[in-house]
């Protein structure tokens, strides 16, 4: 090999190596957040129809956000046999499940709610979940008991490898100011946020992007739904409301968020099949947006 050939070969090799490094960097920066779907869009049908719809829509992940007829889910009334059967029903569709909602009665005594929620935590652990979600409370008279209940839940859940998360839902969890107060009052590292940009608009009329900024570092999940205006319809198709999904996701990406994103808002059709088609369209919408950031 003469000197000219050697230099040309070396140059090509260096360029190829640089290209490979660029490819690796781009691959590392690619956003690949898990996208799942809650059961809410199919809540007027049976849970088995719900699971069939979630599977047919193309999801691999689901969560137990709302109650459905005949289902105890992870409530304190659920038996071990029921939970084991529920696990099998979900797995038979090739789905994983990551979250359940916390149930409590704000007017009840704190001790009663603590005892009941500890049982729910045991049931969620048996179902091998990762997250238990609370909607907070509406009335200020219930705030202090709520903080105490979530503080106890955060400790108990951590023992089972579960995480307690708060969803913006008006009242004591309306927007960033109220949410930061919840985090401070609960005072436990196992109490985090699942952001809901649609609910920020629905309950407060505030800008979801601006409200995300002070709390973004505490966000470990995202409840996806759109909303056109305060008290507007949230069971709708993405892109029909005022949530700027791209801007919100870009902000989350900038602070190292890695999902999951769980679809909640879907236009409910006249049939379960129509609802499934709408859920599939919202999945595709999210995939396009995430690929663009």
Token pair belonging to 208: 């979801």
Does residue 153 carry a pLDDT above 80? yes
**Would you say residue 30 has pLDDT above 80?**
no
Domain at 32-291: CATH code: 3.20.20.150
Quick check: 191 pLDDT over 90?
Answer: yes
C-beta separation of 89 from 138 below 8 A = no
Angle formed by the axes of helices 245-254 and 272-291, nearest 10°: 50
The overall pTM is greater than 0.85: yes
C-alpha to C-alpha distance for 128 and 145, rounded to whole angstroms: 28
- DSSP letters spanning 129-162: -SEEEE---SSGGGHHHHHHHHHHHHHHHHHTT-
How confident is the model over 135-152, as pLDDT tens digits? 999 999 999 999 999 999
């Amino acid at each position: 090999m003469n000197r000219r050939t050697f230099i040309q070969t070396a140059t090509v090799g260096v360029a190829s190596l640089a290209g490979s490094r660029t490819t690796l960097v781009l691959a590392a920066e690619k956003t690949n957040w898990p996208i799942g779907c809650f059961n809410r869009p199919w809540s007027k049908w049976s849970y088995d129809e719900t699971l069939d719809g979630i599977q047919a829509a193309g999801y691999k992940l689901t969560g137990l956000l709302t109650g459905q007829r005949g289902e105890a889910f992870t409530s304190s009334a659920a038996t071990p046999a029921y939970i084991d059967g529920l696990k099998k029903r979900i797995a038979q569709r090739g789905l994983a499940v990551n979250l359940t909602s916390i149930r409590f009665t704000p007017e009840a005594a704190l001790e009663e709610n603590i005892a009941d929620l500890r049982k729910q935590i045991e049931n969620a652990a048996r179902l091998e979940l990762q997250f238990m979600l609370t909607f907070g409370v509406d009335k200020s008279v219930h705030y202090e008991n709520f903080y105490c209940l979530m503080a106890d839940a955060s400790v108990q859940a951590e023992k089972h490898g579960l995480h307690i998360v708060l969803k913006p839902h008006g009242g004591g969890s309306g927007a960033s100011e109220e949410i930061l107060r919840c985090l401070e009052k609960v005072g436990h590292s196992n109490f985090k946020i699942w952001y809901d940009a649609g609910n920020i608009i629905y309950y407060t009329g505030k800008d979801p992007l601006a409200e995300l900024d002070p709390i973004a570092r505490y966000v470990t999940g995202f409840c996806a739904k759109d909303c056109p205006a305060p008290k507007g319809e949230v069971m709708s198709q993405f892109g029909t409301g005022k949530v700027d999904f791209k801007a919100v996701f870009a902000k989350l990406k900038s602070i190292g968020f890695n999902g999951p994103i769980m679809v909640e808002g879907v236009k409910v059709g006249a049939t379960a099949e129509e609802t499934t088609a709408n859920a599939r369209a919202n999945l595709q919408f999210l995939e396009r947006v995430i690929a663009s950031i």
